[in-house]
Amino acid sequence: MIHEEDDPVSLADAPTRRLNMIEAINDALDIMLARDPDVVIMGQDVGYFGGVFRATAGLQEKHGKTRVFDTPITECGIIGAAVGMGAYGLRPVPEIQFADYIYPGLDQLVSEAARLRYRSAGEFISPMTVRTPFGGGIFGGQTHSQSPEALFAHVSGLKTVVPSTPYDAKGLLIAAIEDNDPVIFFEPKRIYNGPFDGYYDRPSKPWKAHDASEVPEGYYTIPLGKARMVREGETLTVLAYGTMVHVVESVCREKGVDAEVLDLRTLVPLDIEAVEKSVKKTGKCLVVHEATRTAGFGAELSALVQERCFYHLEAPVQRVTGFDTPYPHSLEWAFFPGPIRIGEAIDMLLSE
For position 118 contacting other proteins by CB under 8 A, the verdict is yes
Handedness of CA 15, 58, 208, 225 (dihedral sign): negative
Q: To the nearest whole angstrom, how small is the minimum distance from the Cβ of residue 88 to other proteins? A: 4
User: ω before 269 within 30° of 0 (cis)?
Assistant: yes
How far are the Cα atoms of 29, 169, 176, 187, 196 from residue 41, in angstroms, in the given order? 8, 17, 14, 16, 29
The length of the chain is 352
144 is catalytic: yes
Exactly one of 216, 225, 296, 337 binds other proteins (CB under 8 A); that residue is 225
Residues in contact with other proteins, shown as a per-residue x/- string from 308 to 347 under the rule CB under 8 A? ----------------------------------------
2 binds other proteins per the rule CB under 8 A: no
Q: Identify which of 190, 25, 158 has the alpha carbon closest to the alpha carbon of residue 79.
A: 158
Regarding 12 and contact with other proteins (CB under 8 A), the answer is no
Choose which of 142, 180, 294, 325 interacts with other proteins (CB under 8 A): 180
Residue type, 192: Y
Confirm or reject binding of residue 1 to other proteins (CB under 8 A): yes
Closest distance to other proteins from the beta carbon of 48 (Å): 14
Smallest distance from other proteins to CB 137, Å: 31
Q: Say if CB 185 and CB 209 are below 8 A apart.
A: no
By CB under 8 A, residue 66 contacts other proteins: yes
Which of 62, 269, 325, 352 contacts other proteins by CB under 8 A? Answer: 269
Among 108, 146, 160, 213, binds other proteins (CB under 8 A): 108
User: Integer distance in angstroms from the first to the last C-alpha of the chain?
Assistant: 45
C-beta separation of 222 from 5 below 8 A? yes
Whether 136 and 149 have beta carbons less than 8 Å apart is answered as: no
Question: Half-sphere exposure (CA, 13 Å, Cβ side) for 60?
Answer: 19
For binding to other proteins (CB under 8 A), which residues are involved? 1, 40, 66-67, 71-72, 74, 76-77, 80-90, 92, 104, 107-108, 111-112, 115-125, 156-157, 159, 179-181, 225, 268-270, 272
So which residues are the catalytic ones?
A: 144
